[in-house]
Amino acid sequence: LSRPPKELKRLAREGCWAGSHAGRARLYPRLIQQVSCRLVTPDALVYRDVAGRLFGKPSVSSHPLPEFLEGCPMPTYCLSPHGVTALKKILICVGALFPDITHSPLLPALAALLLHYSEDEAQCFESVSRLIASNAPHAGYIDQSFLAHQASCMTFGDLANKHCPAAHKLIAGSAENVLEVYSEWLSWLFPGLPFGYAVRVLDVFLLEGQKVLYRIALALLKQFRLSVTPAGLQGSDIKAELQAFVRNIAEHVTVDKLLERAFGIRLFSRKEIWLLQMANRKALMERGITVVQRRPSFHLAVDMQNFSSSTVTAQEMRLVWSWIPERFSLFPPLLLFSTSEHGCSLQR
């Protein structure tokens, strides 16, 4: 850790401690201790106190999981039954000590992975707690509300349109609703990726924050485009195809190659991501979309049944609609001008 930050990033990206479980177990807590976070952040001592009062000693918890995890994936990454119980305790204590969290799909996977490399559940809780409480500018780790998560999904869609145009076109041509596909981007990584790939992602995530997740998901999207044909996707469930592809990623690309491609994406800055997230948050708030909606009606798609145009087909309109920034596609299109009704002069 005494090395310069750029050198540490290079070592993590190249997997220099990938072969040592003990190495990660020593390194992860030290990396997380360097995360800038709020002054009052619950630590291992607070966890032991709260867990002792909530669960007793050493009874197994029968408490329900926090409401903010409803509908979120709950991977356990080969934890033993004792480990799964510890994971549940950690998540319940997070819910008790961070009441402001209302939605956080990444949290269970992150806690499960960190538990593999923690001395005990208290240390794992402290690590998760510091990542939640991070206050570094433009460098968050975990989305903690539905609004933040949905803005991240829209931001990924914007980045895919810019950095993966061929893959984006493939998705737009195969899915009725592009944003619905991109709303699952985080699950491609966790729990989608195999354990060996997931911990390599975690190596760089702890050093570089959420930006890393966007990079790797974009690299997966690029690889998906190279591994499938448009004809092969016709009539298939594109979301299921992507999830199956990610589960079997080892058949297509090594983890080293995947990371190399992810960090080879040019003109990709933390500031760009932050600005997109803020713009997308604003658009969602203007639509009143700030809490989980059981039926995501805000995911606008072209209505294939009622669409009518003498210029483009519904499929072509769907593709055109996928080109515009996600925050604008939240609003239904309004016909302002038609040559059949208004002629060919825009000045009349």
Give the residue-averaged pLDDT of 11-19.
87
**Cβ(190)–Cβ(142) below 8 Å:** no
**Residue pLDDT, tens place only, 78-109:** 999 999 999 999 999 999 999 999 999 999 99
CA distance 134 to 205: 13
Cα(199)–Cα(15) distance, integer angstroms: 10
If one counts every other C-beta atom within 10 angstroms of the C-beta of residue 138, the result is 16
Model pLDDT, residue 175? 82
Percent pLDDT > 70 in the chain is 82
The span from the CA of 330 to the CA of 14, in Å, is 39
How does pLDDT run across 128-181, given as a tens digit for each residue?
999 999 988 777 899 999 999 999 999 999 999 999 999 999 998 888 888 889
Contact 282, 331 (CB under 8 A): no
**pLDDT value at residue 191:** 95
Which one has a higher pLDDT value, 288 or 71?
Answer: 71
- Across 91-110, b (16+ Cβ under 10 Å) vs e yields bbbbbebbeebbbbbbbbbb
What does the alpha-carbon distance between residue 339 and residue 139 come to, in Å, rounded to a whole number? 48
Tokens of 315: 């499929």
pTM for this entry: 0.83
166-222 pLDDT, tens digit each = 999 999 888 888 888 999 999 999 999 999 999 999 999 999 999 999 999 999 999
